[in-house]
Amino acid sequence: MQFPPTNGDFTFVSSTEAEELSGSISAPDVKLNMSGGGGGDGGRDPYATAFLRQRGYGWLLEVEEEDSEDSKPLLEELDIDLKDIYYKIRCVLMPMPSLGFNRQVVRDNPDFWGPLAVVLLFSMISIYGQFRVVSWIITIWIFGSLTIFLLARVLGGEVSYGQVLGVIGYSLLPLIVIAPLLLVIRGFEVVSTLAKLSGVFWAAYSAASLLVGDEFKTKKPLLIYPIFLLYIYFLSLYTGV
């Protein structure tokens, strides 16, 4: 007796004379071609590819693509623009509007590395072998800028903490400029005092002209005064007086 197949894959044969069951299974031949020849799927045999994908092993055929992008320069990775920093330094050292510099870029396009370099330079010329002064000057820069920022916001100024941090840091440059002069005229008390006052006024004017906008109106002295005191304190860290 022979039972007809139900799905086209199996054939059953039954014999009434013998208690014996035999059968055969037919399946299409599957060829795996692992050669590196060309093809539509990376050189793989299409039958093998279809066989693996139908059974959920398509992930074996996936190949990670190598990142072809060139590595960026270190300065670009750290977001350091030396030309921009140099331009901002010139804006701070020459704050007169008649010179034609767009000084608002110091406030409107703040960065971190330029002010940090200026603060570190001021710290290095202030230590006289006492390296603990470096961390203290950086602390005064961070928290002094935070105080100016909070006061500016209370008075209605539209500035961010990053902008204040950058302006206060860059405006230390006048104190760095007068530092070598103070070493030369140390013995002349009157001249030395005038040089110190000039440096403080120079730094405070440079910072205040950027931070104190028209939105403060009659409240400008309330912000200019603490900026002036902050630079006096910075100078005292350098001179020890």
pLDDT (tens digit, 9 = 90+) per residue, 30-72? 444 444 444 445 555 677 777 767 766 666 666 655 554 556 6
Token pair in block for residue 170 = 């860059």
pLDDT of 152 reads: 86
Is the pLDDT at 146 greater than 90, yes or no? yes
- Report yes or no on whether pTM surpasses 0.85: no
Token pair in block for residue 153 = 């916001």
Token pair in block for residue 90 = 């010139």
Considering Cα of 193, then 195, then 199, then 204, what sign does the dihedral take?
A: positive
Q: What does the radius of gyration of the chain's CA atoms come to, in whole angstroms?
A: 38
Q: CA–CA separation, 163 vs 152, rounded Å?
A: 11
Q: Which helix (H) or strand (E) holds 10?
A: strand 10-14
Phi-psi domain of 43 (left: phi exceeds 0; alpha: psi -120 through 50; beta: other): left
Pick 227 or 25 by higher pLDDT: 227
Q: Which pLDDT band, with edges at 50, 70 and 90, does 95 fall under?
A: confident
